[in-house]
């Protein structure tokens, strides 16, 4: 029975197994997330090199990488990023407050997302970068933006954005080109010239052409408005490596195995459409963060029926890995288990048949008490974590200082005691 081709190199597997063993000694419990700064640093360095090799920062505008807070909102990551001089992108009041709590100055914070006028006035910070999302938001926030000297821009709803459940319909975000022309006119009437133009394509952007078409549409808008933007803010995420669709296809197939290089080439060809451009801003949440974490679960029970071996674990899709609903990730036994393979389904502990973490060949010798490592758990797992009949998982963090427990597993009082 053949395994799915996830392609993790042996050093990566050894790295995570070593960290997981150490984290289990520290935490003493599962389910457990283990996150590390090392893969984040490697992905950032890979992107930086691709852009430098393409001439960005010398013959071309420079490139700034913003940490997408929503992708992995955990304090040790934010602290690690801030200590290295990084900038952070937030889309909610809680994320902005988290960035401030972890020491980011307003000048290093980019605020995106819808309906900001409902909460951003409560945090009147000087020097933020803010992309307006609607006419109502612009009307409410423009006086504050002028007073506090915000760096101001507009989010555009490009033709490459669509409702994933109704793909003939657009998303709910940003200005249409017609609305954007009216917004630019209103800003200029108030004595303000937009400095930024922004779009966000979604996660797992399938091809370079999708980016290129969105940029071309935004460039046409800028020419129609006679707008010379200094900053092009490209939201959306390159697909991570080693994650497959539910059909078993790699998300980055069209990027030909080198998405940073392909992205840099596409942007090099597109940069000339913005003559006054100083910087290109990127918010690659999933590509940067997915590989930086794993989920560790413990097998509690084993069943076998209709040719499928079933492992009942203490963590799964419902509580810990909602993304497994549309992605397949590698799942590895921590203990050395060899011998014949069997089609195996790994389930979480909740009372939902939906709660399936993985379905793939695994060693038949796996038994209760063993641990499974579910790879690429660093993107969107913490923000989508649930407490369905159980508490939140423990979290271990690893960086240059070593490994430590960043969050204990939630006990009953933490689960039930929050209620008045």
Q: Quick one: pLDDT at residue 2? A: 47
Computed over every residue of the chain, the mean pLDDT equals 95
Rounded-to-integer distance, Cα 265 and Cα 358, Å = 36
Checking if the pLDDT of 416 tops 90, the result is yes
pLDDT more than 70, % of the chain: 99
As a whole number, mean pLDDT of residues 222-238 equals 95
Q: Quick one: pLDDT at residue 190? A: 97
Q: Quick one: pLDDT at residue 1? A: 43
- The answer as to whether 420 is a domain residue is no
The whole domain housing 296 covers 10-36+291-409
- The answer as to whether 143 is a domain residue is yes
Q: Are 109 and 87 in contact (CB under 8 A)?
A: yes
Query: Are 92 and 240 in a shared domain?
Result: yes
> How far, in Å, are 247, 293, 322 from residue 325 at the CA level?
12, 18, 6
Query: Are 106 and 147 in a shared domain?
Result: yes
Checking if the pLDDT of 256 tops 80, the result is no
As a whole number, mean pLDDT of residues 234-257 equals 87
Domains in the chain, number: 2
Where is the domain boundary, 257, 289, 321? 289
Rounded-to-integer distance, Cα 85 and Cα 66, Å = 11
Helix pair angle (75-83, 37-54), 10° resolution: 40
Query: Are 269 and 168 in a shared domain?
Result: yes
Where is the domain boundary, 289, 320, 342? 289
Query: Are 281 and 298 in a shared domain?
Result: no
- The answer as to whether 418 is a domain residue is no
pLDDT digits (tens, 9 = 90+) for 2-15: 456 678 999 999 99
Checking if the pLDDT of 274 tops 80, the result is yes
Q: Quick one: pLDDT at residue 258? A: 84
pLDDT digits (tens, 9 = 90+) for 371-415: 999 999 999 999 999 999 999 999 999 999 999 999 999 999 999
* Segment among 130-134, 200-204, 346-350, 364-368 with least mean pLDDT: 200-204
- The answer as to whether 392 is a domain residue is yes
What is the domain-level CATH number for residue 312? 2.40.37.10
Q: What is the pTM of this model?
A: 0.95
- The answer as to whether 282 is a domain residue is yes
Query: Are 100 and 67 in a shared domain?
Result: yes
- The answer as to whether 90 is a domain residue is yes
Rounded-to-integer distance, Cα 409 and Cα 45, Å = 33
Where is the domain boundary, 258, 274, 289? 289
Query: Are 284 and 389 in a shared domain?
Result: no
- The answer as to whether 168 is a domain residue is yes
Q: Quick one: pLDDT at residue 3? A: 52
As a whole number, mean pLDDT of residues 296-302 equals 98
As a whole number, mean pLDDT of residues 38-51 equals 97
As a whole number, mean pLDDT of residues 237-253 equals 88
Query: Are 21 and 58 in a shared domain?
Result: no
Query: Are 263 and 314 in a shared domain?
Result: no
Query: Are 217 and 230 in a shared domain?
Result: yes
3-state helix, strand, coil in the chain (%, to 5): 35, 25, 40
Q: Quick one: pLDDT at residue 5? A: 64
As a whole number, mean pLDDT of residues 122-149 equals 98
pLDDT digits (tens, 9 = 90+) for 312-369: 999 999 999 999 999 999 999 999 999 999 999 999 999 999 999 999 999 999 999 9
Q: Are 295 and 394 in contact (CB under 8 A)?
A: no
Query: Are 245 and 378 in a shared domain?
Result: no
Query: Are 211 and 129 in a shared domain?
Result: yes
C-alpha of 163 from chain center = 19
pLDDT digits (tens, 9 = 90+) for 79-93: 999 999 999 999 999
- The answer as to whether 335 is a domain residue is yes
Each residue of 316-339: b (16+ CB within 10 Å) or e?
bbbbbbbbbeebbbbbbbbeeeee
Query: Are 173 and 310 in a shared domain?
Result: no
What is the domain-level CATH number for residue 85? 3.20.20.10
């Amino acid at each position: 029975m053949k395994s799915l081709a996830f392609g993790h190199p042996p050093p990566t597997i050894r790295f995570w197994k070593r960290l997981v063993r150490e984290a289990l000694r520290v935490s003493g419990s599962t389910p457990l997330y283990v996150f590390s700064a090392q893969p984040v640093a490697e992905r950032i360095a890979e992107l930086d090199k691709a852009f430098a090799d393409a001439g960005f920062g010398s013959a071309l505008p420079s490139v700034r990488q913003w940490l997408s807070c929503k992708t992995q909102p955990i304090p040790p990551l934010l602290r690690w990023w801030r200590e290295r001089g990084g900038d952070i992108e937030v889309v909610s009041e809680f994320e902005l407050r988290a960035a401030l709590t972890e020491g980011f100055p307003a000048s290093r914070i980019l605020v995106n997302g819808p309906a900001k006028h409902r909460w951003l006035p409560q945090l009147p910070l000087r020097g933020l970068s803010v992309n307006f999302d609607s006419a109502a938001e612009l009307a409410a926030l423009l006086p504050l933006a002028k007073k506090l000297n915000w760096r101001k821009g507009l989010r555009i709803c490009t033709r490459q954005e669509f409702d994933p459940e109704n793909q003939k319909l657009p998303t709910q975000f940003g200005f249409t080109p017609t609305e954007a022309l009216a917004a630019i006119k209103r800003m200029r009437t108030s004595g303000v010239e937009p400095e930024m133009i922004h779009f966000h394509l979604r996660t797992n952007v399938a091809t370079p052409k999708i980016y290129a078409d969105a940029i071309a549409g935004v460039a046409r808008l800028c020419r129609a408005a006679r707008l010379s933007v200094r900053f092009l803010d490209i939201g959306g995420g390159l697909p991570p490596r080693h994650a497959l669709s539910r059909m078993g296809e790699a998300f980055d197939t069209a990027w030909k195995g080198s998405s940073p290089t392909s992205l840099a080439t596409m942007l090099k060809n597109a940069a000339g459409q913005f003559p006054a451009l100083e910087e290109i801003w990127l918010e690659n949440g999933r590509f940067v963060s997915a590989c930086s974490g794993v989920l560790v679960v413990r097998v509690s029970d084993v069943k076998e029926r209709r040719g499928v071996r079933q492992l009942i674990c203490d963590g799964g899709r419902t509580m810990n890995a909602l993304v497994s609903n549309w992605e397949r990730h590698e799942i590895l036994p921590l203990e050395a288990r060899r011998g014949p393979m069997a089609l195996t389904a790994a389930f979480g502990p909740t009372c939902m048949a939906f709660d399936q973490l993985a379905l793939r060949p695994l060693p038949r010798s796996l038994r209760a008490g063993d641990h499974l490592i579910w790879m690429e758990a660093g993107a969107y797992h913490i923000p989508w974590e649930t407490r369905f009949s159980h508490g939140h998982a423990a979290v271990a963090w690893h960086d240059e200082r070593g490994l430590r427990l960043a969050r204990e597993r939630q006990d009953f009082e933490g689960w039930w005691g929050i209620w008045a």
